[in-house]
């Protein structure tokens, strides 16, 4: 009998773990989806029971610019011979929010930003990043694009670059493109 109880407990724990893993996908369900389920464990069965008032808040839709995207000196304007590189996990939400991070390797970064300009051109800083680690940067909490900047993003006319003392105009760069 102890083995049966253990098996039921293990099955119950596995069911709870699976439900928690799937809970992260809850924001992708239709609005009329059923509420999340709680699990009652008994010695003989696992009984799902609806949990009233437990619907998680929906996450805002985010449009990653292909994740991760790589930064390089070859993409700078003008291109430079730096062997440094970087990866961007920056996301632009449908609500125009800017989240994520940028990490660089092979350089000592001094600052990073999102600029507004087409590929092959330089433009003004529109979203400054904060240094969050020796080689990482992130936009400030609550950072948002204006309507015009968001239109530029949708057209592929925003870029990220990371500066250094060696290349004060920017050592590595990449153009931001919305996911398709």
The pLDDT assigned to 58 comes to 43
The helix/strand/coil state of 144 is strand
What pLDDT tens digit does each residue of the chain (180 aa) get?
A: 444 444 434 344 444 344 334 344 444 444 444 444 343 333 433 344 444 454 444 444 444 444 468 999 999 999 999 999 999 999 999 999 999 999 999 999 999 999 999 999 999 999 999 999 999 999 999 999 999 999 999 999 999 999 999 999 999 999 998 887
Give, for 62, the enclosing helix (H) or strand (E).
Answer: strand 62-64
The pLDDT assigned to 19 comes to 39
Give CA–CA dist 16/37, Å, rounded. Answer: 10
For residue 57, tell me if it sits in a domain: no
85: nearest Cα among 23, 140, 179, 160: 160
The answer on 18 and 76 residing in a single domain is no
The helix/strand/coil state of 64 is strand
The answer on 144 and 92 residing in a single domain is yes
CATH of the domain at 153: 2.60.40
Q: Answer yes or no: pTM beyond 0.85.
A: no
Q: What is the DSSP letter of 151?
A: H
The pLDDT assigned to 112 comes to 98
The answer on 80 and 15 residing in a single domain is no
Domain residues for 29?
2-50
Q: What is the DSSP letter of 7?
A: H
The pLDDT assigned to 16 comes to 39
**How many domains would you assign to the chain?**
2
Give CA–CA dist 21/7, Å, rounded. Answer: 21
């Amino acid at each position: 009998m102890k083995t049966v109880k253990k098996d039921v407990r293990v099955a119950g724990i596995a069911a709870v773990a699976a439900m928690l893993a799937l809970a992260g996908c809850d924001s992708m369900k239709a609005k009329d989806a059923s509420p999340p389920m709680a699990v009652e464990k008994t010695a003989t069965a696992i009984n799902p029971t609806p949990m009233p008032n437990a619907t998680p808040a929906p996450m805002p839709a985010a449009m990653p610019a292909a994740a991760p995207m790589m930064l390089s000196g070859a993409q700078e304007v003008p291109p430079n011979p730096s062997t440094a590189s970087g990866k961007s996990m920056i996301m632009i939400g449908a609500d125009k929010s800017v989240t994520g991070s940028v990490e660089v390797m092979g350089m000592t970064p001094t600052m990073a930003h999102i600029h507004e300009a087409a590929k092959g051109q330089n433009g003004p800083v529109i979203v400054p990043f904060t240094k969050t680690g020796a080689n990482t940067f992130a936009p400030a909490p609550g950072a948002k694009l204006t309507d015009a900047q968001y239109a530029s993003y949708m057209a592929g006319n925003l870029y990220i670059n990371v500066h250094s003392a060696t290349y004060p105009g920017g050592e590595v760069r990449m153009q931001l493109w919305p996911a398709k």
